[in-house]
Structure 1
Amino acid sequence: MPHTVTLYTKPGCHLCDDARDIVDDVVGRVQASDHLDVAVDELDILADPALQTRYGEEIPVVLIDGKMHTYWRVDAARFEKALKELA
């Protein structure tokens, strides 16, 4: 079953850049080692007023299959554990 990681970001956000790097790295490792089907969707909250209102002070935000995983900083080990639990 495919899974989706959603990353809410906005331009010029250094924490978003850090989160993107961690998400990409961890998803790549988990896909290779656990053969987990994970798609990553990145959405700019500035393109959607509702997202901007909801997440404006919390970005970056990471959702796994639509459920909040974390915001502000992504802990790579915790994120990897959460993805492996999907397998």
Structure 2
Amino acid sequence: MTETAGWAGRARVVMLGKPGCHLCEDAWGVIERVTGELGVSRAREQLDDVGEADREEYWDKVPVTFVDGRRHDFWRVSGDRLRAALGS
């Protein structure tokens, strides 16, 4: 993928996941907690709702976390790493 997808910049933190993914639920819990504490916007995107190139790029990496439109992490989310990426 050569450029950041528009959906990845929908909020400061965006998680790309898929239904029924237990790692996605775990990651979203961390994202909700950290963004809630910091007052930062967050959004969830579903793998089925993004373009074909993004599905091919990320299908085996979900959940994928984006911060400020750039890929931050995949599979798991560390609260400390996310806070650092958000500048707190």
TM-score, normalised via structure 2 length: 0.79
Task: Give the corresponding residue for 1:56.
Answer: 59
Task: Give the corresponding residue for 1:34.
Answer: none
Q: 4, 7, 14: which one pairs with 2:15?
A: 7
Choose 1 or 2 for highest CA Rg.
Answer: 1
Counterparts of 1:47 and 1:17, CA distance in 2: 18
TM-fit CA distance, 1:47: 2.2
Q: 27, 31, 35: which one pairs with 1:19?
A: 27
Partner of 2:60, secondary structure, is coil
- 1:30–1:84 Cα contact (<8 Å) kept: no
Task: Give the corresponding residue for 2:75.
Answer: 72
Counterparts of 1:58 and 1:39, CA distance in 2: 23
Counterparts of 1:58 and 1:76, CA distance in 2: 18
User: Structure 1: which 5+ residue stretches go unaligned?
Assistant: 32-37
TM-fit CA distance, 1:82: 1.3
Q: Percent identity?
A: 34
Partner of 2:86, secondary structure, is helix
- Greater strand proportion: 1
Task: Give the corresponding residue for 2:85.
Answer: 82
User: Structure 2: which 5+ residue stretches go unaligned?
Assistant: 1-10
Q: Which runs of 4+ in 1 moved over 2 A?
A: 47-51
Q: How many residues align?
A: 77
